[in-house]
Amino acid sequence: MTDASANGEIRAAGAVLWRPSGRGREVALVHRRRYDDWSFPKGKRERGEHVLLTAVREVAEETGVQVILGRPLPAALYERDGRPKRVDYWAGRPAVGGWASFRPSDEVDELAWLPVRSARGRLSYPHDAAMLDEFAARPADTVPFVLLRHASAGAKDAWPGDDRDRPLDARGAAESECLARLLSCFGSGRVISSPAERCVATVRPYAALTGADLEIETVLAAERAGDEPGAGAARVARRHLRAPREPAAAAGGGLRGPRRGAAPG
């Protein structure tokens, strides 16, 4: 197991876990026995783990709460034992039915839900206080809309049939399975795809994991996007933003730019 990136940077992740209360919002703080400090739930990344999965796992381990991640917060950057450390944070709320009883451990022995002002006074580190200020300054409850380019599908010129039928290659199939786990960190919602097989296959595992229906949207097809990259995705996004608040992931062939694999960041 390792927590370091290629350049020796220690990677970790966590969340500002919040819930509504009669006093506005409460956030969760944990007390670590070893350091006698109060901080947000967080922890080191495991080998091969994406930081989104790290954040969800660590919050569950330290608080007993299955978290749904929201908007990203500024990363905390500092040194630990002479090495650079980066902790990525997201705002997060408990999933429906995601509560479990807090169980003290050798690492975390107390969990406290506090109003924002009280939490700021209890936090042990200035960078955590600054994180809380950033969280409190903007909306806590946000709705994700994720635009995706299809996973790896080989070379277009190497496919002999109709390009709409071009499937994912082995790498793309692995990427789609990894992507399902990453998208599930933001909860469940609508799953929208271009009719192209490679786009449908990219989000099919996520739809299966969350039990969502997979909606086909023709304006996401590459040929409909014309000479304006992302035009179809922009139309779907505008339509979605006018609809009721609901998370969504949309995969299309009209998006351009470098493809990034689903490997850990």
Q: What is the pLDDT of residues 186-241, one digit of tens each?
A: 999 999 999 999 999 999 999 999 999 999 988 887 655 454 666 777 777 777 66
Residue 131 sits at the vertex; the CA angle it makes with 130 and 133, to the nearest 5 degrees, is 65
pLDDT at 174 over 90: yes
Helix boundaries (H) for the chain: 51-63, 116-122, 126-137, 170-183, 197-210, 222-225, 231-241
- The predicted pLDDT at position 220 comes to 82
pLDDT at 117 over 70: yes
- The predicted pLDDT at position 229 comes to 60
pLDDT at 243 over 70: no
Q: What is the pLDDT of residues 35-74, one digit of tens each?
A: 999 999 999 999 999 999 999 999 999 999 999 999 999 9
Q: What is the pLDDT of residues 124-156, one digit of tens each?
A: 999 999 999 999 999 999 989 898 889 999 999
Pairing of strands 214-216, 190-193: parallel
- The predicted pLDDT at position 257 comes to 42
pTM of the model: 0.86
pLDDT at 256 over 70: no
Q: Which residues contact 234 (CB under 8 A, 6 or more apart)?
A: none
- The predicted pLDDT at position 2 comes to 46
Average pLDDT over residues 162-181: 97
Which pair of tokens denotes residue 100? Answer: 């479990």
- The predicted pLDDT at position 98 comes to 77
Pairing of strands 190-193, 248-252: parallel
**Do residues 108 and 198 make contact, with C-beta atoms less than 8 angstroms apart?**
no
Average pLDDT over residues 241-251: 76
Stronger pLDDT, 164 or 237, i.e. the higher one: 164
